[in-house]
Amino acid sequence: MATSVWLITITLLFAVSAPVNACPPSDRAALLAFKAALHEPYLGIFNSWTGNDCCNKWYGVTCDTITKRVADINLRGESEDPIFQKTHRPGYMTGSISPAICKLERLSSIIIADWKGISGIIPPCISSLPFLRILDLIGNQISGEIPSDIGKLNRLTVLNLADNKLTGRIPRSLADLSSLKHLDLRNNFISGTIPQNFGKLRMMSRALLSGNRIYGPIPETISYIYRLSDLDLSLNRLTGPIPESLGKMAVLGTLNLDGNMLTGKLPATLINSRISILNLSRNAIEGNIPDVFGPRSYFMMIDLSYNKLKGSIPKSISSASYIGHLDLSHNHLCGAIPAATWFDHLEASSFMYNDCLCGKPLKACS
């Protein structure tokens, strides 16, 4: 009994007297090492990184209010912040991301975005930051590979590495990111295949892999990601057929597979799905357009141009509830273009360069 009273008293005394109002010197030292590896010539954002308390008005740094550990690094090169208005130019920064950042073991977000000139690699030790939720390095010159054990970040919800110079493959462990909602790897030099286990990413709603060198088939397992609403695999080197199961996904609304080397037929499931933006342009899709349009077909945009589609435009297309933009050009279609109310706004270019299409808006059939 007496011991526990003492324990409580000691704990209270400690809580009151501990210097919890400033950032720990180790966090401050890590931030200064991080700053030392970067060079920001125009705005002077790092001028505010002085004094002992890194939680107090250091530009882009936020600390946990209770522990005073650094929780967020938020440095955006394009922002509405007044500091940008003085110079009338977007941010520019060179240098690299120091591994010292990994000493900030309470970090929950790292946003170092749109600085255009930051190069070097993603420090592999980043995958040992257990509280990391957001890693956003979009719009720099970062090279090297995605850390192979990235999958250890089990709280990560946003991984945005778009518009950089990353090479190598999508690591297998990426599929272990069980909280991941938003994956953006667009416009890098990533090669290799989409990992077979990709379908394990059950929380993911946006997967954007466009503009890389990814080859091989689209894994069927992608269709297990039942929250997926936006899938962009365009401008890669994917081969093989389009999995039919993509058209049966509960919330998939945007499917961009354009600019690959996909073959096989156009799955009928895609025509009668939740998908409202469908770009399959510039592939090698063959066979007929399935005659399964119906009231469930609602397309803001459907682009099937530059494929090997043949036969006629299916009659059922007039029963689609809406088609905003349609492009069937550069195929081998033939026969009369069906009449439909929403065809009135379509131009001839939507149907040009086929074998023998005719009727409005092309020349009348003879």
Binding string, 235-274, against ligand NAG, x = CB under 6 A? Answer: x----------------------xx---------------
- Judged by CB under 6 A, does residue 307 bind ligand NAG? no
- To ligand NAG, the closest distance from the beta carbon of 283 in angstroms equals 9
Nearer to ligand NAG, 86 or 325 (CB): 325
Nearer to ligand NAG, 97 or 313 (CB): 313
Binding-site size, ligand NAG (CB under 6 A)? 10
Contact residue for ligand NAG among 188, 269, 279, 307 (CB under 6 A): 279
Nearer to ligand NAG, 31 or 218 (CB): 218
Alpha-carbon gap, residue 122 to 73, rounded angstroms: 15
Using an 8 Å Cβ cutoff, are 241 and 266 in contact?
Answer: no
Encoded tokens for 160: 């945005």
Instruction: Provide, for the chain, the percentages of residues in helix, strand and coil under a 3-state DSSP scheme, each rounded to the nearest 5.
Output: 25, 25, 55
- Judged by CB under 6 A, does residue 234 bind ligand NAG? yes
Contact positions with ligand NAG (CB under 6 A) in 331-350: none
Alpha-carbon gap, residue 211 to 291, rounded angstroms: 32
Alpha-carbon gap, residue 348 to 351, rounded angstroms: 6
Partners of 260 in beta bridges = none
Nearer to ligand NAG, 115 or 351 (CB): 351
The H or E element containing residue 86 is helix 82-87
- Judged by CB under 6 A, does residue 283 bind ligand NAG? no
Other beta carbons less than 10 A from residue 345's beta carbon: 12
Strand, helix or coil at 26?
helix
Nearer to ligand NAG, 202 or 237 (CB): 237
- Judged by CB under 6 A, does residue 303 bind ligand NAG? yes
Alpha-carbon gap, residue 280 to 265, rounded angstroms: 12
Nearer to ligand NAG, 61 or 235 (CB): 235
Alpha-carbon gap, residue 358 to 351, rounded angstroms: 9
Among the listed ranges 143-151, 197-205, 264-272, 279-287, the one in contact with ligand NAG (CB under 6 A) is: 279-287
- To ligand NAG, the closest distance from the beta carbon of 281 in angstroms equals 4
- To ligand NAG, the closest distance from the beta carbon of 166 in angstroms equals 21
Partners of 119 in beta bridges = 96
In this structure, the strands spanning 38-39 and 93-96 are antiparallel
What is the binding site for ligand NAG (CB under 6 A)?
234-235, 258-259, 279, 281-282, 301, 303, 325
